[in-house]
Structure 1
Amino acid sequence: MHSYTGASFMKYFKYIASFLFCSQCFAQSTPSELAEMSFDELFFIDSSPSASTSPWTLGYAYKFAEYKGYLDGDSSLSNDEVLWEPGNEPRTSDNFPVVPTVITQEVHTVSLAYEISPQWQVSLLVPYIRQETDHISIVGNYETFVIETDGLGDITTQATYRWNTGSAETWAIGFGLRLPTGSIDEEGDTPRAPGDQELPYTMQLGSGTYDFPLDVMYKLSGKHQITLGASANIRTGTNDRGYRLGNNYKLTSQYSTAISQRVDVFGGLSLVYSDSIHGQDDALLIDSPFPYPASITNPDLYGGKKVNLNIGLLWEATNDFYLKLDINKPVYQYLNGPQPKENWTGAFSLTKKL
């Protein structure tokens, strides 16, 4: 799976250490943004020669995330602490009549890549999103309720350029355009008013803006493979609902090694940062001194910092067919809260040369 060399692992340890412990290295990820995938997440095939001469690669990725419990900064809060109880406590900006208890999100992404040359690759990524949120509230007939949305997400076109700086070293840059094809007008039955109303930001399927994903990646191949990456998703303008999701930034480091001829195991850390939402959707407000009926309707209670631990394996099933499994678990989160915290994220990916 790799072209092994005698390059020393310790030679690069200082670069990894400085990357992992950088005080400003944080990035990405709110519940509504799970579908944003860097090119290295989808096109993870090693740059070693393939048995196939086809320039086409077909990919499929499935991602699942669960959000449960609350954080304000790095302080944990229970659902009862976030739920406002009239008569027992005053209403404040930190408690709410409606509280999401569990948020789950699934993304199915189909990708098609074309290799223009050994250096250049272009790709198209099409996500399908399904989201479900369980709630508790103080409103009659809505003590517990569930809201679901599903549909097409934001389609991404991307170009990747790779070049080798040595027999075992590879650099790659990626840049693209994410199109606002996902709905931002999803509605559902909530306690806010009779009938269906506009749903909060976490339940929408797209950003509603033209966004620009950017990626840089360095890979040292060998018996001990090191990958370092940086990515950003830069958003532009304001969508039709009057807001713009926050920019996302991410730094990653990964170590992998072969345990057999066709299987690699890997582990690493990602340091992520996400801005809060700019502007707001006024349809989510209620006529009250405290206009936000739930924390997920307040645009200031989005974004924050996370450190994620990642482990997984890559299996070269055949010369042109790859399977990848990985699990991400936050080991530290500092969120603009009260905000639902991420419990874990899992991913399953396949790629096949056509």
Structure 2
Amino acid sequence: MKYASLGAGALCAALLASPAYADGSYADDHAPIGVMGDHAHRKGEFMLSFRTMHMEMDGNRIGTDEVSPDTIVTTVPNRFAGMPGQPPTLRIVPTAMRSDMYMLGAMYAPSDVVTLMVMGNYVEKEMDLTTYMGGMGTNVRGTFQTNPKAFGDTKIAALVPLLGLPPKGAIDTDELTLKAGVSLPTGSTDETAQILTPMGDTPTMRVPYAMQAGTGTFDLEPALTYKGRRGAIGFGAQAAASIKLDENKWGYAFGDSYEATAWLSYRPAQWISFSGRVKARTTGRIQGIDPAIMGPVQTANPDFQGGDRVDLIGGVNLVAPHGALAGHRLGIELGVPVYQNLNGPQMAGDWMLTVGWQKAF
């Protein structure tokens, strides 16, 4: 696994460190690493963070039912049927997808009552597809892969601690943080790739919606996070949304999404905590259509986007006590979906891994 050396190295550093803390930091001062915007800072504090998120998808579903590629190409109508070169049913099926997102963030508190946050990201996506021969039937033409890479959208936000900031080093804490965020359309929405058509041609075309790095729209991204701790037990919950404000220059907008997550954590020592988290998310269909995204493949149909999903996620938070790594934090989370109801046919989630580093100054 590509992140194993990173996680193992940081874990060993934490394990070898002395448990004596000069600054009163605890591993569970922050939420699990996959929860964004969970805390504010004191006046003058500055924090840098870097996260990498790997996600894999495998197979397809319609609603909650798994469907095979042969079923898709013999039963699912092609939205573009009747146009030149377009068959009556889907003839290209995605079979697996991998995505890596690299996120660099910064936070600064000009006062105790507001913390400013900005985050940019770079996205790499890779999809495996099978092309069936033109017409009907289940004769395979061949396979191909698309691999777009580009910068994604930029997130900016203001975080307001509604209950104030807990005293440094406090064991029992309660925090309620309001996030007022906006996503700026800095990401690419015109990535292309070479494909294999049912007739055997290999043109270069714009990749479908989910393979683009950005949304192309301005989005409101509010969130409300409660986080508490009683002794060695931590707990918290967050409600968040992404609400599209307009269509992009191609004439479409991704569906709005609403997410809720809750977690429990246990801290056996000051420098380490373990967490379990459940996350539920609902996402709407794409509104509008990009005229350059067309073909006998499910990913080109705006109606085959979005749905409902529930994930179970386990994690660990580490913080170094002193020396060269003093104040450095490492978080790791590994998750799997336990429920998926997709507006399909659509690729199903398989598993995801998030590894992140944080350091306040």
- The TM-score, its normalising length taken from structure 2, stands at 0.78
> Displacement of 1:227 after TM fit?
0.3
Distance 1:346 1:73, change over 3 A: same
* Alignment correspondent of 2:67: 77
Deviations 1:51-70 (A, max 9, x none): xx961111000001111111
Whole-angstrom CA distance in 1 between matches of 2:26 and 2:76: 59
Distance 1:91 1:160, change over 3 A: closer
Deviations 1:34-81 (A, max 9, x none): xxxx9973456797x9xxx96111100000111111111101112332
Distance 1:107 1:161, change over 3 A: same
* Alignment correspondent of 2:216: 208
Select between 133-142 and 106-115 the one with higher mean Cα deviation: 133-142
Retained in 2: the 8 A contact 1:263–1:313?
A: yes
Q: Secondary structure at the match of 1:81?
A: helix
Retained in 1: the 8 A contact 2:124–2:148?
A: yes
Whole-angstrom CA distance in 1 between matches of 2:223 and 2:304: 27
Whole-angstrom CA distance in 1 between matches of 2:358 and 2:37: 7
Whole-angstrom CA distance in 1 between matches of 2:78 and 2:61: 15
Retained in 2: the 8 A contact 1:39–1:174?
A: no
Aligned partner letter, 2:338? V
Query: Does residue 199 of the first structure (1) align with residue 184 of the second (2)?
Result: no
* Alignment correspondent of 2:328: 321
Residue of 228, 241, 246 corresponding to 2:255? 246
Retained in 1: the 8 A contact 2:44–2:111?
A: no
Whole-angstrom CA distance in 2 between matches of 1:73 and 1:343: 16
Q: Secondary structure at the match of 1:301?
A: coil
Q: 1:88-99 to 2 correspondence within 5 Å? A: 89=74, 92-93=77-78, 96-99=90-93
Whole-angstrom CA distance in 2 between matches of 1:114 and 1:199: 37
Whole-angstrom CA distance in 1 between matches of 2:75 and 2:184: 44
User: Matched residues, percent identical?
Assistant: 25
Aligned partner letter, 2:356? S
Aligned partner letter, 2:52? Y
**Unaligned residue ranges in structure 2 (runs of 5+):** 1-24, 80-88, 135-139, 167-171
The count of corresponding residues between Structure 1 and Structure 2 is 306
Distance 1:40 1:196, change over 3 A: closer
Query: Does residue 179 of the first structure (1) align with residue 187 of the second (2)?
Result: no
**Unaligned residue ranges in structure 1 (runs of 5+):** 5-37, 286-291
- The TM-score, its normalising length taken from structure 1, stands at 0.80
* Alignment correspondent of 1:282: 291
* Alignment correspondent of 2:56: 66
* Alignment correspondent of 2:163: 164
* Alignment correspondent of 1:146: 145
Q: CA RMSD, aligned part only? A: 2.6
Distance 1:152 1:3, change over 3 A: closer
Query: Does residue 188 of the first structure (1) align with residue 187 of the second (2)?
Result: no
Whole-angstrom CA distance in 2 between matches of 1:219 and 1:90: 48
> Displacement of 1:280 after TM fit?
0.9
Q: Secondary structure at the match of 2:337?
A: strand
Whole-angstrom CA distance in 1 between matches of 2:273 and 2:332: 11
